Amino acid sequence: MTGGKMGHYNEMFEGESVRDPYARLSQWVGTMPDDFRQMKQAEAEALFRRIGITFAVYGEGGDPDRLIPFDMMPRVFEQAEWRKLERGIKQRARALNAFLRDVYGRGEIIRAGRIPARLVYQNEAYEKAVVGIVPPRGVYSHIIGIDLVRTGKDEFYVLEDNCRTPSGVSYMLENREIMMRMFPQLFRNNRIEPVDQYPALLRRTLESVAPPKCTDRPTCVILTPGHFNSAYYEHSFLANLMGVELVEGQDLFVDGEFVYMRTTTGPRRVDVIYRRIDDPFLDPLCFRSDSMLGVPGLMDVYRSGGVSICSAPGAGVADDKAIYTFVPEMIRFYLGEEPILNNVQTWTLWKDDDYKYVMENLPDLVVKEVHGSGGYGMLVGPKSTKEEIELFRRKIEANPSNYIAQPTLSLSTCPTFVEEGIAPRHVDLRPYCLCGDRIELVPGGLTRVALREGSLVVNSSQGGGVKDTWVLSE
Amino acid sequence: MLSRTASNLFWMGRHLERAETAARLLDVGQRITLLPNTDAGYQNEWNSLLQASGTAGVFARKYGEATQEKIEEFIFFDRDNPSSVVSCIEKARESGRIVRTALTSQVWDALNVTYQELRRIERTPREQLDTASLTDFTTGHTSTVRGAINATQLRNDGWHFMNLGYSLERADATARLLDVKYFVLLPRIEFVGSGLDSYQWQVILRALSAHRAYHWAYGGDITAGRVADFLILNGESPRSLITSLYEAVWHLEGLARRYGPDVPASARDKAREVLDALQERDIEMIFDEGLHEFLSWFIGELASVSALVHQDFLLGGA
């Protein structure tokens, strides 16, 4: 194994020598016989299937019980690297929540001319129904998933923020669980910070934002769209680990000032709802009237302080790809600090200069839909054929303000098990930041890996895999 | 516990038991047609099965005239028949998937394997399958699931709901299987007491995997009175009406104890009342009343208990 391809930062190497955090792993891999690796890989797969962690891929049909590929080679951060990331992530989470509080209140940042009003108030995710409501502790987004990429030893960029209901945390937990079960020796030889406190921290976070009318210990629930949802496993997994009920809309009803769930011993009041359904489906009386997933009257109870909804309706306005470009500005405006983590340079196609530049340089850029997610509706210029680029060009021309463009980053790679042995593959990182009375971050996150050689798309819906993510303690 | 969770557990139990009943019905039908028979021919026997399972209407609309192949397809594989083995096992697995966290991994494994195997059987050409192996498959796998439930599940309210589903469904199934006999015999009342008659009773016993148990319990001849007594009033017989109902009452009592006086217990009260009414009868009284009339009454009472379970626990007080 060597330092990998030219141009891409390989996280395992410094020049030709193995970096400290990977030293023991490198030995471990070096002494592992091929057949042992294959045996362990099969074992891991059997464990995943048995536990039932599967991922249905949107729009592909086929096997709904498909497994997300798991790579046994962990990705490692040393303590100093992680501390910097942690500070940057928490800073960003504070700024995003301050922004939400502002734009549903007086809108100071807009009055100050730092963000165009149109981008906020005409945003699809901006929810007029919650203007003027300040949720408990002023927190709108309680679980923020921040997608990071690395391009060099000390170069990290934020790719996007997820303020609504970021998924994938169950993989962070299960990947660790399975690694510990299969390779206990590795964990004895390396001092790795644990992540399994996440469910308890999440529950604590949810309880800390109980509504004003809740006087006892708050009852929290997870609201799922149901077992047909591709993330249903994660919903039931978290409910199980937190010891809270997993409810569907039909299990809840509004009576007077409160929300109740239907139980075998009669109605039971619900104080905090960690919802995993989108805003438009929350309450058919307030949003989409054809929604069967939500709870009629929920928003009235929310407005009058009878229940907390996490994340708050309307939180999505902060994680839009157009708003993204202004997050460094938010950090300066609300916190009076300089951003610790950088944004990726972004061209917004509704500006004439940007539009011109992007259209002239399409083959070198990554173009994304403003509201797209999951790796759909994007163009990776350098990886696309002429035809694909021209096809995409016409889509942009039809609706330029629907797109942003970014340079093609030279994503870092991590050693990854592949058919032929071990090879570098591109990775990203999604840590999960919890915001309640405190801001917490477990040392770790979900590392996604693009398993196809040279591919930059790590989304699980596009054939990406996952890795265990280690933070070494001092 | 969420009402929806309880409901899924209850129906998981019911559907597993119902799948088993469907398989047993198939077995009864198969054996009855092996007899040199009445002048109405095979059709009569097969129709009696459909009558007893309450699916004659669905069948007639889809298939028209009954033949053995069509009926096997209908009772085992057909998704349009809500009581077919495939329908029931699919529904049970679906319920199990929804409440995954309320099940132990052993129970989920057993349930999931049953489903995966069934999918495999579905893809097998029908001529390679015989009725006996389909029945064995079903009773074998449903037993494994039941075993896993009773060996590994916490004895909490969820366990009571699953077993309540099982016991109510089983009481219903035994009553319906007994009723098959009534429908088969109905046109030719002069057969009563004949060799044919006792052979048919024996078939019922076999279908309930009870013919050996019957000989241990009663010795000697198979007579209508004794078989009916065994399947209705004998507390040792595992699938008798009285045993099944007794278990249902036991689980309802367990729930009532657990939930205390604030939660209504009308299902328990009703089930107790039916159990008392059963215990007051002997088999002569039942025959005087008319077996079919008695069974219809019993099936009706079970439906009331089931409706009350729904009302007491599954609506969530809304």
- By CA distance, what is A243's nearest residue in B? B101
Distance from CA of B97 to the nearest CA of A (A): 8
Confidence tier at A365 by pLDDT (50, 70, 90): very high
Residue A2 has a pLDDT of 42
Looking at the structure, tell me whether residues A76 and A127 fall in a common domain: yes
| Distances, alpha carbon A438 to alpha carbons A142, A434, A435, B149, in Å | 10, 8, 6, 42
Question: In 3D, which of A186, A151, A167 has the Cα closest to residue A40?
Answer: A186
Q: What angle do CA A27, A29, A30 make, to 5 degrees?
A: 60
Question: Which residue range forms the structural domain that includes residue A24?
Answer: 13-211+307-340+410-471
Looking at the structure, tell me whether residues A29 and A122 fall in a common domain: yes
Alpha-carbon distance A60 to nearest alpha carbon in chain B (angstroms)? 21
Tokens, residue B154: 């916490």
Nearest-CA distance A267 → chain B (Å): 6
What pLDDT sits at residue A61? 42
Q: How many CB atoms lie within 10 A of CB A438?
A: 12
pLDDT tops 70 at residue A74:
yes
Residue of B nearest to A249 (CA): B4
Q: Using an 8 Å Cβ cutoff, are A382 and A408 in contact?
A: yes
The type of residue at A394 is R
CB contact under 8 A, A264 and B157: yes
As given in the structure block, the two tokens for residue B287 are: 């025959």
ipTM of the complex: 0.81
- Residues 6 or more apart from B249 whose CB is under 8 A from it? B268, B271, B272, B275
Nearest-CB residue to A266 (from B97, B105, B316):
B316
- In this predicted structure, what is the pLDDT of residue A176? 94
A166, two tokens: 């970021």
List the one residue out of A332, A375, A367 whose CA is nearest residue A348.
Answer: A367
Whole-number pLDDT of residue A460: 67
Q: What is the mean pLDDT of residues A386-393?
A: 91
pLDDT at A58: 40
For residue A409, name the pLDDT band (cuts at 50, 70, 90).
confident
| Mean pLDDT of the region A427-452 | 95
Show residues of chain A in contact with B315, CB under 8 Å. 262
Q: Of all helices (H) and strands (E), which one includes residue A407?
A: strand A403-407
Interchain contact, A251 vs B316, CB within 8 Å: yes
Give pLDDT, residue B126.
85
Q: How distant is the alpha carbon of residue A300 from its chain centre? A: 29
Closest listed residue to residue A423, CA positions, set A447, A445, A455, A446: A455
Give the CA angle between residues A274, A278, A284 to the nearest 5°.
Answer: 100
On whether both A379 and A414 belong to a single domain, the answer is no
Instruction: State the pLDDT at residue B250.
Output: 98
Per-residue H/E/C for A243-275: CCEEECHHHEEEECCEEEEEECCEEEEECEEEE
Region of A142 (left: φ > 0; alpha: ψ -120 to 50; beta: rest) is: alpha
Q: What's the confidence (pLDDT) of residue B43?
A: 56
Question: What is the band of A368 on the pLDDT scale with cuts at 50, 70, 90?
Answer: confident
Residue A398 lies in a domain: yes
B4/A227 touch (CB, cutoff 8 Å), yes or no: no
Residue B310 DSSP label: I
Of B101, B313, B316, the CB nearest to A267: B316
* CA of B259 vs chain A CAs: smallest distance (Å): 7
- Please tell me what DSSP assigns to residue B212: H
Rounded distance between C-alpha atoms, residue A122 and residue A323, angstroms: 12
**Does the residue A2 lie in any domain?**
no
Judge if A349 and A202 occupy the same domain.
Answer: no
d(C-alpha B214, C-alpha B192), whole Å: 20
Are A264 and B315 within 8 A, CB to CB?
no
Chain A residues with CB-CB distance to B263 below 8 A = 264-266
Q: Tell me, yes or no, whether A464 and A426 share the same domain.
A: yes
3-state class percentages of chain B: helix first, strand second, coil last, to nearest 5: 80, 0, 20
Element (H, E) at B284: helix B283-289
Contact residues, chain B, for A260 at CB < 8 Å: 316, 318
Q: How far apart are CA A204 and CA A242, in angstroms?
A: 9
Residue B146, Cα to own-chain centre: how many angstroms? 14
Q: Which long-range contacts (CB under 8 A, 24 or more apart) does A26-32 make?
A: A28/A183, A28/A186, A28/A189, A29/A73, A29/A415, A29/A422
CB contact under 8 A, A263 and B316: yes
Q: Residue A23 corresponds to which tokens in the numbers above?
A: 């030293």
Measured distance CA(A214)–CA(A243) in Å, rounded = 19
To test the contact with chain B by mutation, choose from A264, A268, A269 the residue with the greatest count of B C-beta atoms within 10 A, namely: A264
Number of domains in chain A: 2
Task: Give the integer Cα–Cα distance in Å for B152 and A283.
Answer: 40
Domain with residue A362: its CATH number is 3.30.1490.270
Q: Tell me how close the Cα of A220 comes to any Cα of chain B, in angstroms.
A: 13
Q: Is B264 exposed, middle or buried (0-12, 13-18, 19+ CB in 10 A)?
A: middle
Mean pLDDT is lowest, of A2-16, A334-348, B99-113, for: A2-16
Q: Cβ of B4 and A248 within 8 Å?
A: yes
Closest to A306 (Cα-Cα) out of A63, A74, A136: A136
Tell me which chain A residues have a C-beta less than 8 angstroms from the C-beta of B3: 251, 262-264
Q: What is the pLDDT of residue A60?
A: 39
In the prediction, which pLDDT does B27 show?
A: 83
- Across the interface, do A262 and B259 touch by the CB < 8 Å criterion? no
Pairing verdict, β A342-343 and A155-162 = parallel
Q: Are A357 and A136 in contact (CB under 8 A)?
A: no
Q: Which of A6-20, A248-262, A395-409, B296-310 has the lowest mean pLDDT?
A: A6-20
Give the chain A residue whose CA is nearest to the CA of B98: A227
**Which residue is listed with tokens 């799922």?**
A224
Q: Are residues A381 and A313 in the same domain?
A: no
Among partner residues B2, B263, B313, which is closest to A247 by beta-carbon distance?
A: B2
Is A7 among the domain residues?
no
Whether residue A354 is found in the same domain as residue A425 = no
Is B314 in contact with A264 (Cβ distance < 8 A)?
yes
- How far is the C-alpha of A84 from the C-alpha of A341, rounded, in Å? 9
- Cα–Cα distance between A188 and B151 in angstroms, integer? 36
> Do the Cβ atoms of A263 and B105 come within 8 Å?
no
Instruction: Respond yes or no on whether the N-terminal peptide bond of residue A311 is cis (omega within 30° of 0).
Output: yes
The average pLDDT across A323-347 equals: 95
Chain A hits for B259, Cβ within 8 Å: 264-265
Can you give the pLDDT at residue B186? 47
* Secondary structure percentages of chain A, helix, strand, coil, to 5: 35, 25, 40
pLDDT per residue rounded down to tens, chain B (318 residues): 999 999 999 999 999 999 998 998 888 777 777 766 554 455 566 777 777 677 888 888 888 887 778 888 999 999 999 999 999 999 999 999 889 888 988 899 899 889 989 988 999 888 888 888 999 999 999 999 999 999 999 999 999 999 999 999 999 999 988 887 766 654 454 555 566 677 777 777 877 778 788 888 887 787 888 888 999 999 999 999 999 999 999 999 999 999 999 999 999 999 999 999 999 999 999 988 888 899 999 999 999 999 999 999 998 765
Residue B296's pLDDT is 93
Residue A136 forms part of a structural domain: yes
Min Cα separation B59/chain A (Å): 31
Contact call for B263 and A251, based on CB within 8 A: no
Q: Which residues contact A68 (CB under 8 A, 6 or more apart)?
A: A48, A53, A54, A55, A171, A460, A465, A466
Q: What is the pLDDT of residues A102-153, one digit of tens each?
A: 999 999 999 999 999 999 999 889 999 999 999 999 999 999 999 999 999 8
CB contact under 8 A, A264 and B97: no
**Pairwise CA distance, residues B222 & A2, whole Å:** 83
Which amino acid is present at A115?
A: I
What integer pLDDT is reported at residue A48 of this predicted model?
A: 77
Q: Helix, strand or coil for residue B2?
A: strand
Handedness of CA B194, B197, B202, B203 (dihedral sign): positive
Residue numbers in B near A251 (CB within 8 A): 2-4, 316
A192 Cα to chain B: minimum distance (Å): 29
Label residue A59 by pLDDT band (50, 70, 90): very low
C-alpha to C-alpha distances, A29 to A33, A34, A389, A422, nearest whole angstrom: 9, 10, 40, 9
Angle at A184 between CA A442 and CA A2, to 5 degrees: 80
Contacts of B317 in chain A (CB under 8 A): 262-263, 266-267
> Residue A96 in contact with residue A343, Cβ under 8 Å?
no
Q: What is the mean pLDDT of residues A410-428?
A: 89
State if pTM tops 0.90.
no
Structural domain boundaries in chain B: 3-314
Residue count (chain A)? 474
Q: Which of B97, B100, B313 is closest, CB to CB, to A264?
A: B313
Q: What letter does residue A292 receive in the DSSP assignment?
A: S
Report the alpha-carbon distance of residue B18 to residue A372 in Å, rounded: 46
| CB-CB neighbors (< 8 A) of A236 in chain B | 100-101
Q: CB of B237 within 8 A of CB of B261?
A: no
Asked whether the beta carbons of A112 and A333 are under 8 A apart, the reply is yes
> Which residue reads 């098990």 in tokens?
A417
Verify that A453 and A366 share a domain, yes or no. Answer: no
User: Are A24 and A166 found together in one domain?
Assistant: yes
Is A127 in the same domain as A75?
yes
Closest-approach residue (CA) in chain A for B264: A265
Cβ atoms of A57 and A403 closer than 8 Å: no
Same domain for A42 and A143, yes or no, is: yes
- Beta-bridged to residue A424, according to DSSP, are A415
